[in-house]
Amino acid sequence: MASEGFGVRVFEIEPDGTLTPHICADEDYFSGTVPNVGDTIAMWHLHDVYRFYNVQRRYFIDSPDDDRGWCVIVRLIDPAPQLENVVTEWSEDTKFWRSVEEQERKEEQERIAEVIRKLTVKKPRQTPPEQVKKTTRNPRKKVLKPRTPKA
């Protein structure tokens, strides 16, 4: 990667041949690759509009200033239904997977909260069960006889 932090610079070639800079980024911006001739780049612009560019050329530029990197030349192309469908599906897919990740994150947070609640809540003190009185009495009332003195 260049010491200036830009391993890839993308320029649009205008109809008159002049170059207009679009992106200055490192290779990570392009997921570790450099756009190649024939690739189509969909760039997000203002007002929720994509513009599509076809990669015309790419050059590796060396420099005595240690400012080397890739120069990618693109040309603006007219949007076509297929290109529009690709970016629409990409967007819908992104929304779907983000919602899945959000749901999984919520469920994980709920599990963690439940574990924390179980670990930190005071358990109610269990009182010993009341002593059960054992009644071995005969339901008939015992009649006591008076004592007679022994002679």
Q: What is the pLDDT of residues 75-116, one digit of tens each?
A: 999 988 888 888 889 888 889 999 999 999 999 999 998 888
Of residues 127 and 37, more confidence is placed in: 37
28 and 85 in a common domain:
no
- Quote the pLDDT of residue 151: 61
> 84 lies in a domain?
yes
67 and 22 in a common domain:
yes
Q: Which residues of 84-95 are buried (b: 16+ CB within 10 A; e: fewer)?
A: eeeeeeeeeeee
Print the domain residue range for 91: 80-117
89 and 59 in a common domain:
no
Q: What is the residue-wise DSSP string for 99-147? A: HHHHHHHHHHHHHHHHHHHHHHSPPPPPPPPPPPPP----SSPPPPPPP
Whole-model pTM? 0.61
- Quote the pLDDT of residue 130: 64
112 and 59 in a common domain:
no
pLDDT-derived band of residue 131, with 50, 70 and 90 as boundaries? low
> 140 lies in a domain?
no
45 and 25 in a common domain:
yes
87 and 51 in a common domain:
no
